[in-house]
Homo-oligomer: A and B are copies of this chain.
Amino acid sequence: MLTPLTIGTHTLSSRLIVGTGKYATYAQMGEALERSGADCVTVAVRRERLIDADGKNLLDFVDPKRYTILPNTAGCFNAEDAVRVARLGREILSGLENPGADWVKLECLADKRTLLPDPVETLQATEQLVADGFQVLVYSTDDPVIAKRLKNAGATSVMPAGSPIGSGQGVLNANNIRICLEYLKEGDPTYPVIVDAGVGAASDVAAAMELGVDGVLLNTAIAHAQDPLAMADAMRLACEAGRLSWLSGRIPKRLYATASSPEEGVITWQPN
């Protein structure tokens, strides 16, 4: 029903990309991934211990034949570190014969407290990784100017945050996401823009998709829900719902159905 999402040389049938961190067990993670409907999952190259408390290996639960693995540089706080970790991820994935060896989700964070992205280091790392042959999917703030600079630096996809990682607030500044879309899709309508981080509930995913972004990437909202498996279902459905809702052309907002002008026109001058 929905067209696939093309990101560089990769084509995904689901527009939801999910992380693999923070689950109680790898078994739970494996089932949540399955139910999320994602065919691309992101794995932190450095942070994941790869072996859980029961001695299980993460990769036993993420079938590389089924999922395209998107290695990420979570836990990196400068460009140098991020570049090193990205290369390490490429090496590991090459050995697995997974198509994800040639791309990377770049995260260059400012500090451990807020986990906000550092635009300066991120930009520098993007340039280096692009030069190094990577397809770079770059985690960014929602600042449209930085987003455009990252695209100009060769990023395959820019992924603005809806709100801080793990904060569960959804898209706080729809205005910025709209301008990101204007900037990034100008003359290039298929350039993939993905909201990454901040989602808390299914309605956040749907609302993000209704802004016209191409996909949503999330992790904590599923992994830390009371019932991660049911939440994975919710997110799968919400992503499709939001995409369809965007494509279907929603009705305008009005004060009431027969009001002569849309709701927001009310704010103009009207002294009594």
Contact = CB atoms under 8 A, between A and B. Distances in A.
Interface of A: 1, 110, 112-120, 123, 141, 143-146, 148-149, 163-169, 172-173, 175-176, 178-179, 185, 189-190, 200-207, 210, 212, 220-221, 224-228, 230-231, 233-238, 240-259, 262-272
A253 B241 contact: no
Given A143-B143, A185-B272, A224-B251, A244 B202 contact: yes
A149 to B, nearest CB: 7
A147 B104 CA distance: 27
B237 A225 contact: no
A256 B166 contact: yes
Which of A220, A230, A240, A266 has the most CB atoms of chain B within a 10 A radius of its CB? A230
B231 A244 contact: yes
Contacts of A264: 253, 262-264
Contacts of A233: 1, 240-241, 244
A119 B144 contact: no
A161 to B, nearest CB: 10
Contacts of A173: 172-173, 176
Contacts of A164: 175, 179, 255-257
The 3 A-B residue pairs with the shortest CB-CB distance, nearest first, are A226-B249, A166-B257, A249-B269
7 contacts: A110-B145, A143-B146, A178-B266, A200-B250, A201-B207, A203-B242, A233-B244
A126 B100 CA distance: 40
A245 B116 contact: no
Contact of A241 (B123, B179, B206): B206
A253 B206 contact: no
A250 B237 contact: no
Given A110-B148, A175-B172, A267-B252, A257 B123 contact: no
Contacts of A248: 225-228, 230-231, 234
Nearest to A115: B257
A241 B244 contact: no
Contacts of A168: 250-254
B255 A227 contact: no
A202 B212 CA distance: 13
A251 B221 contact: yes
A190 B222 CA distance: 27
A239 B138 CA distance: 32
B149 A202 contact: no
A207 B202 CA distance: 8
